[in-house]
Amino acid sequence: EPPADWSPVKTFREYLSALFSSDDYVGYVTEAWQDDSQKWLPRKGVWNRTAGELLELCTSTNDLTNIVGDWKQECGAWIRFNPLDGKGVSDSNVTAYRYALVESDAISIDRQYSIAKQLELPVAAMVHSGGKSLHLIVKIDAPDFKEYQKRVDFLYEVCKKNGMVIDRKNRNPSRLSRLPGATRNGKMQYLVATNVGKSSWQEWTE
């Protein structure tokens, strides 16, 4: 269930603190456009502000739009879960391969949650998308891009074998996920939990 005392700024602050160091550049998107099928698609967004700068802003306002800007209620807002170099938003701009996104639209949210808990996935942050899925930001901690891809493939295969089919388009390190604290069609994009399951990728694989 969504939190009764939900605070968008507090939610955003908790997410940043769980995933980033203060000097990490954070990419996020509040602007979107519609394609020919009327589907909302994110633009490139902002990539030149550090987690420390954003956390400082969180102490001076109770309105998340004062921190990240306005977003369209039809589609919500997004954030990149790996740190960037402050120069762009492609995979080549990722500075640390810490996390991967696990998301499955094919089964219910309750089932997604149950599988994640039973597998003890090393989840840094679990976010309700405001739609029909949880966004699990899983600790990968790969030393380079090649090892990141290898670990994500292993992660997805384990999830698949246990009933959670993952959209493989989500496997790149600069991928966008849902920004907790925003709203989408009147529903919250909220933080369900942080740091659940095993404490690290190594502990989980062992």
**pLDDT at residue 169, rounded to an integer:** 84
pLDDT tens for each residue of 2-52: 888 889 999 999 999 999 999 999 999 999 999 999 889 999 999 999 999
Cβ atoms of residues 30 and 45 within 8 Å: yes
90: amino acid identity, one letter: S
Cβ atoms of residues 65 and 31 within 8 Å: no
pLDDT tens for each residue of 51-75: 999 999 999 999 999 999 999 999 9
Q: Stretch 145-171: mean pLDDT, rounded?
A: 93
pLDDT tens for each residue of 81-124: 999 999 999 999 999 999 999 999 889 999 999 999 999 999 99
SS3 string, 74-121, reads CCCCEEECCCECCCCCCHHHECCEEEEEECCCCCCHHHHHHHHHHHCC
Give me the torsion for CA of 171, 149, 87, 39, rounded to 10°. -10
Joined tokens for residue 80: 């990149």
Mean pLDDT of the chain: 95
